[in-house]
Amino acid sequence: MNKTLQRTALAVAAIAIAGEAAAVEWNVSLWGQRRAFTEHVEKLAELVDQKTGGEFTLNISYGGLSNNRENLDGISIGAFEMAQFCAGYHPDKNPTITVMELPFLGISTLEQEREISQAVYAHPAAQADLGRWNATLLMPSPLPQYNLVGVGDAPASLADFEGLSVRATGGIGAAMETVGAVPTSMTATEVRQALDSGVVKAVSFAPHAHMSFGTVESGEWWTTNLNPGSVNCPVVVNTDALNGLSDEHREALLGSVDEALDHYVDYYNNQTMAAWGPVLEEKGIAQVTFTDEEIAGFKEAAAAPAAEAWLADMEARGVPGLELYDLVTGMVADGM
């Protein structure tokens, strides 16, 4: 081979090696199956792939990388680069963001849930909290108010929850205790078996999860208006992996978050909620609606005690709980 051809071959090889080195693949740990709850992650992967010409890929796994309660631990050790988890699964590991799980905060729309969650995630205390796990908060998974699907006799009043075993995490569990229910914390993937076996008699979920995890298959009644609150389930990334991205790839990721969340909210509002009513009708699930007076009494019994207990817990941990609580309630009061 003459020197000119040799130099050309070396140049081509160098370009190929550089191109290969530029390609980045991240593993993403989710659970269950693709559903409304994961649509923003799916959209994010699509956008990142498009913007980088396939050089940056998010490989999404539904349960193949980690148990959902261990996703934050996996992020901390770099077992994968991105994951979703729910604050109520391990409140001691992420106390700051559990402010979003307090009952009866008054958040009424997905858009509001999104905006307030992002404000909490931007707070230095929340960033430092998740930073202990080498995690950077990327985006929320806005969810509507939770309600119950149950089996057995439908409750005619809140008094009928006395002694009822209910799958409910975080602040929703605390709220259910105030009406005499017995809350049990378990992950979404454990719920169907628990309901079918009688371990619990009712399950607190958002509509998408009742459909995705099969509670509507055996459920006999649904509460239309308990609306005690929601859970907060962020998507986080490994901070070292984020810092290790090229400027182009980092911009492709971070610059796609808003569009991914727009897609998520639109999907949930216009597809998931549109399907919910017909599913209840098709399955013959009775709809239970409580009086305004009962709901007001429920809120009075649950909201203030839960907030006071949370604030005391945060103070004991050295977390600026009042600052976070005022941030959230102030945004709610302002209609944001």
Task: Output the domain CATH number for residue 302.
Answer: 3.40.190.170
Token look-up 């707070």 returns 123
Question: Whole-model pTM?
Answer: 0.88
* Residues 151 and 134 placed together within one structural domain of the fold: no
What's the CA gap between 28 and 253, in Å, rounded? 13
Q: What is the dihedral of CA 67, 69, 74, 75, to 10 degrees?
A: 130
**Is 4 a member of any domain?**
no
Three-class SS state of 202: strand
Q: Are residues 71 and 155 in the same domain?
A: no
Rg (CA), the chain: 22
Under-70 pLDDT residues of the chain: 1-21, 336
Q: Which of 147, 268, 159 is nearest to 219 (CA)?
A: 147
Q: Residue 153 has what pLDDT?
A: 94
Judgement on whether residues 246 and 329 belong to the same structural domain of the protein:
no
Whether 50 and 173 map to the same domain: the answer is: no
Full domain range(s) for residue 93: 22-142+231-272
Residue with tokens 């130099």: 7
Q: Is residue 1 part of a domain?
A: no
- Distance, in Å, from the CA atom of 334 to the CA atom of 185, rounded to the nearest integer, reads 33
Question: What is the C-alpha separation between 231 and 104, in angstroms, rounded?
Answer: 12
Separation CA 201–CA 194 (nearest Å): 8
16 located within any domain: no
Dump pLDDT digits (tens) for 33-92: 999 999 999 999 999 999 999 999 999 999 999 999 999 999 999 999 999 999 999 999
Residue 336: the pLDDT is 67
**Ranges of H-type helices in the chain:** 3-22, 39-51, 71-76, 110-122, 124-131, 170-177, 188-197, 207-212, 215-218, 239-243, 247-254, 257-267, 273-283, 292-317, 321-333
**Do 201 and 308 fall into the same domain?**
yes
> Based on the domain organization, do 247 and 299 belong to the same domain?
no
One domain, residues 97 and 219 = no
Q: Which two tokens stand for residue 147?
A: 């309600």
47 and 92 together in one domain = yes
pLDDT digits (tens, 9 = 90+) for 85-115: 999 999 999 999 999 999 999 999 999 999 9
Q: State the pLDDT at residue 287.
A: 95
> Which of 13, 55, 38, 102 lies closest to 235 in space, CA to CA?
38
- The total of structural domains in the chain comes to 2
pLDDT at res. 20:
46
Token output for 236: 């986080």
d(CA 179, CA 164): 10
d(C-alpha 334, C-alpha 330), whole Å: 6
Per DSSP, the residues of 137-165 read EEE-------EEEE-SSPPSSGGGGTT-E
CA distance 221 to 4: 79
Whether residue 64 lies inside any domain: the answer is yes
